[in-house]
Amino acid sequence: MGRESYHPDCIGLLAPSDTHVPRAITRSEGTLPSSYRAARIGLGAAVGTRRIHGLMTPRPLRPDDDLDALTAMLHRAYAPLAAQGMRCARGETWVIEHDGRLVATGTLEGPGTSGCAWYARPDVAKVQQLAVDPTFQGAGMGRTLHDRIAARARALGATELALDTSEHAGGLHALYGRWGYRRVDTIDHRPTVNYASVVLSKTLETPEETLARRAPGGAHRLRDDSTIEQGPGRYVVRTPSDPTGWLNEVVEHDALTDAEVSATVRSFAGRPLKWCVWPWSDPDLAQRLTAHGMTSWTASAMVREPGGACPDGVVRVDADVVDAFTAVWAEGWGQQDGTALRDVQRYLEQPDVRLFLAHVDGEPAGVAGTRDLDGGAYLFGAVVLPRHRGRGAYRDLLTARLADLASRGVPLAVTHARDATSTPILDRAGFRRVFGYRVFFGG
């Protein structure tokens, strides 16, 4: 039996100057220069596949990239639709480089943009100016770049990725349909362009995946000096007084370069930390953390529908059993420094948190908690004392919490668990895996 988990800047953008000469900026938004005005989409109409030798890895635009060459490539890519005009774009620009040339580009604008009702939704990101040099069209670069941008959008908290294109571009509608897009809205950019547009959107994650992704936030043990840095694509817990690393965690971080990862690790001032690497994280993040000497283990986000009856040996924590609960919590989580009582008191003060105590032969043996969420509840903090393991206490804690959720009409239970310990137990208990990830520790 194991334990449940508590939780389980330098992007080049294109911006205008007063003279509309493109330049590289950092973490901002701008308008593409007038030299980009060609057409809305430049993926080309090539059918089938072509073999391109060399790497095809999307990356953020760098300040030293040749923007004139990028402008010229966009002209070539958009040439077939040039007569239709093109809107300006803003956001993070991503590129693919081949043999020193920028051959593909796309721009991501984070959730909550403007232009139509769909774009204004807080869970919708927008991709724009997706283009591939005609020489390289048909080789899969457009899809590769799109998929990397989609992962980035998900890291920023989006559950939908949308775009718009001419209502007459039937070939593009079919292409995006094969990529999972559907028509959701209309938008009219006229007189900037001379055509009406349709808005297409792709679901990036299911409601279960969204619940599992958001669940860990807020279930942390905290100290008086703990701080939480939170924003789009970022959730970082820092506790300077904690030397163990368990209260210092990077749950999400939008670091995309070696320098950003190194700076984040250094910001913990030599203290060890945990860093979660999700399916939507930068593909190179695990390698970068390994280079910092961090080790890792695999974990899973898992869900199931609540149900069942509460076992006799499990009680919900109240004033009568809080001392017994605290003693087990302190021993089980290694908090023999007097901090366990503060943790328990903080949890009991939160109306969305419930705590449970399991007994074996009448002796307090294990503890666990739940935290209510929008659309479900997060199961966290389950631990059974070593001398009582193998006697069903973990299973009873699980069953009791599922029964409690069912009695309150909570539709879904979600938890994060180590694959080497708790995941097999959850499998047998009817949980299903939503996604896997890696947890790095060290620094």
Most confident of 77-91, 137-151, 189-203: 137-151
Average pLDDT over residues 169-198: 91
In this predicted structure, what is the pLDDT of residue 326?
97
Structure tokens at 56: 């095809």
Maximum separation of any 2 CA atoms in the chain, in Å: 80
In this predicted structure, what is the pLDDT of residue 90?
65
- Residue 24 within any structural domain of the chain: no
In this predicted structure, what is the pLDDT of residue 109?
93
Q: Going by DSSP bridges, is the β-strand pair 12-15/23-26 parallel, antiparallel, or unpaired?
A: antiparallel
- Residue 365 within any structural domain of the chain: yes
Average pLDDT over residues 187-204: 89
Domain boundary among 173, 204, 235: 204
Question: What is the DSSP annotation of 59-95?
Answer: EEBPTTS-HHHHHHHHHHHHGGGGGG------SEEEE
pLDDT digits (tens, 9 = 90+) for 91-124: 898 999 888 888 999 999 989 888 899 999 999 9
Domain boundary among 156, 181, 204: 204
Check residues 5 and 133 and name the one with the higher pLDDT: 133
Residue 271's φ and ψ, nearest 5 degrees, are: -75, 145
Contact 86, 122 (CB under 8 A): no
pLDDT digits (tens, 9 = 90+) for 377-386: 999 999 999 9
In this predicted structure, what is the pLDDT of residue 359?
98
Which has the closest alpha carbon to 196: 112, 88, 85, 42? 85
Contact 306, 409 (CB under 8 A): no
pLDDT digits (tens, 9 = 90+) for 325-376: 999 999 999 987 788 999 999 999 999 999 999 999 999 999 999 999 999 9
Domain count within the chain = 2
- Residue 192 within any structural domain of the chain: yes
> Residue 240's Cα: distance from chain center in Å?
25
- Residue 327 within any structural domain of the chain: yes
- Residue 392 within any structural domain of the chain: yes
Class of residue 367 by CB neighbours under 10 A (exposed 0-12, middle 13-18, buried 19+): buried
Q: Quick one: three-class SS letters along 157-218?
A: CCCEEEEEEECCCHHHHHHHHHCCEEEEEEECCCCCCCCCEEEEEEECCCHHHHHHHHCCCC
In this predicted structure, what is the pLDDT of residue 196?
87
In this predicted structure, what is the pLDDT of residue 229?
94
Most confident of 66-75, 85-94, 244-253, 365-374: 365-374
> In the predicted model, is pLDDT for residue 18 greater than 60?
no
> In the predicted model, is pLDDT for residue 261 greater than 70?
yes
3-state helix, strand, coil in the chain (%, to 5): 25, 30, 45
189 and 316, same structural domain? no
199 and 62, same structural domain? yes
Check residues 45 and 282 and name the one with the higher pLDDT: 282
- Residue 219 within any structural domain of the chain: no
Domain boundary among 204, 227, 258: 204
192 and 66, same structural domain? yes
Most confident of 32-36, 126-130, 239-243, 312-316: 312-316
In this predicted structure, what is the pLDDT of residue 395?
95
- Residue 233 within any structural domain of the chain: no
Q: What number of CA atoms fall less than 13 Å from residue 241's CA on the CB side?
A: 9
CA–CA separation, 171 and 122 (whole Å): 29
- Residue 215 within any structural domain of the chain: no
In this predicted structure, what is the pLDDT of residue 71?
72
Place of tokens 């949890």: 347
pLDDT grade for 56, boundaries at 50, 70 and 90: low
Instruction: Find the length of the chain.
Output: 443
In this predicted structure, what is the pLDDT of residue 74?
64
CA–CA separation, 44 and 317 (whole Å): 63
Structure tokens at 285: 């993040």
Boundaries of domain holding 380: 306-411
Q: Domain with 180 in it: what CATH number? A: 3.40.630.30
> In the predicted model, is pLDDT for residue 1 greater than 70?
no
What 3-state class would DSSP assign to 208?
A: helix
**Which value, to the nearest 10 degrees, does the dihedral of the CA atoms of residues 399, 330, 214, 156 take?**
-160
CA–CA separation, 54 and 40 (whole Å): 28
Which has the closest alpha carbon to 27: 15, 12, 17, 40? 12
pLDDT digits (tens, 9 = 90+) for 21-30: 222 222 333 3
Cα-based angle 243, 247, 250 (whole degrees, multiple of 5) = 115
In this predicted structure, what is the pLDDT of residue 332?
95
> In the predicted model, is pLDDT for residue 78 greater than 60?
no
Structure tokens at 289: 């953390």
In this predicted structure, what is the pLDDT of residue 423?
96
